[in-house]
A and B are shown apart, each in its own frame.
Chain A
Amino acid sequence: MNFFDGDFRRGAASAIPIFIGYFTASTAFGLLARGAGLSGWQSILFSATNLTGAAQFLAINLIASGAFPLEIVFSIFLINLRYFLMTASLLTKVRYKNSLEKYLTAFAVTDEVFSVAMVDGGNVNVRFMAGLQSTSWSGWVLGTVAGFFAGTFLSPALSAAMQVALFALFAALLVPEIKKYRLVAFLTALCAALLNTFFYYVLTFSAGWSLAIAMILASLAATIFLSRQNALKKSPVEREFCNHG
């Protein structure tokens, strides 16, 4: 079997909704980048090498407002610290054969790639990841090209509606987890959502920090709960989460 069959194809197919969401979002990025004075190839290079949503938008705003490069790169760092947690989490799930595979897949870890891979019920190996990540990356890069050169070709109502795509993807990934793990998963997700909302609106943390801290606290609470349950008796749900063979 060659590399692009089987798991690669399955990974690529899983990335179709990501492709749709990325293409639309990065169309907006291409437009904005052009407005901020970037050249076509700079915009494409930005998307191809950084592959990150919010941080790229912020960077464009900061470039346009004349901020220093170091300041901008530091903001990118703060917004994207959560990827650290996501790569770490993927290490427990993906069946890597060697270190090289880990170094390669690390490049294209995003919120969406991480979520799809972690929730997938099949064999998640490096070929699955390659299919998933290359398709997602293509959506992000091609959308940037389209946005920069063609502008938006959607009606205002449709392009606004397309913003829901990635959130819909998250919801569609979350529902099966809640079905599988019931109350534990539901409460963990709810707790993370409430914490994020609280940090962002009440404590006015930046979006990146709110998300990272909410993720950490909610997961920590769930882990402590599960470990205690685990010490008493193992239900199937806890066994599943605590099984990392």
Chain B
Amino acid sequence: MDKTVMAVIIGGAIVNYLIRVAPVVLAKGRKMPPFLATFLNIMPVAALGALIFPGIIESFPDKPSAGIIGVAVAALVSCFADGLVFPVVAAIAASWFTIRFF
């Protein structure tokens, strides 16, 4: 048991670092082609879309509405307020309210 746990922790740490550092090694001394640079520049937008759905439904198996309302409130608040703390806190409040009272 103890050996398994340590093997997983150390193996996981190594694998995670290798994945994260590989692009640095591969890109070394090369100039990035424009197509690839555009691709990598737009990726955050795609990532954000995919990170929200369907994860938000999966995270609230008992009451998906609580998750969806939370995200909607965050999106709405961030239309009017700068910064990230306020939308996040408002979303938690909205989700809590939905879980508690509906």
Contact = CB atoms under 8 A, between A and B. Distances in A.
A80 B15 CA distance: 9
Given A173-B84, A226-B42, A244-B37, A103 B11 contact: no
B30 to A, nearest CB: 11
A119 interface: yes
Interface residues of A, number: 100
Task: Indicate the member of B3, B46, B58, B67 with the most A CB atoms within 10 Å.
Answer: B46
Interface in A189-235: 189-197, 200-201, 207, 210-211, 214-215, 218-220, 222-223, 226-227
Nearest to B63: A160
Interface in A168-183: 168-177, 179, 181
B60 A163 contact: yes
Interface stretch (A1-9, A85-93, A122-130, A143-151): A85-93
A124 to B, nearest CB: 12
Contact of A42 (B6, B35, B93, B94): B6
Interface in A55-93: 55-56, 59, 63, 68-70, 72-73, 76-77, 80-89, 91-93
Given A42-B5, A92-B37, A161-B99, A219 B85 contact: no
A92 B56 CA distance: 29
Contacts, number: 306
Contacts of B49: 174, 188-193, 196, 218
A42 B16 CA distance: 17
Interface residues of B, number: 76
A86 B47 contact: yes
A88 B4 contact: no
Contacts of B17: 106-107
B24 A111 contact: no
Contacts of B54: 193, 196-197, 200-201
Contact of A88 (B11, B27, B77, B95): B27
A149 B12 CA distance: 23
Interface string B1-20: 10111111111110111011
Given A111-B51, A181-B45, 16 more contacts: A16-B85, A59-B8, A69-B4, A72-B8, A83-B20, A84-B20, A88-B23, A89-B40, A91-B32, A160-B60, A163-B60, A170-B51, A174-B52, A188-B46, A195-B50, A219-B46
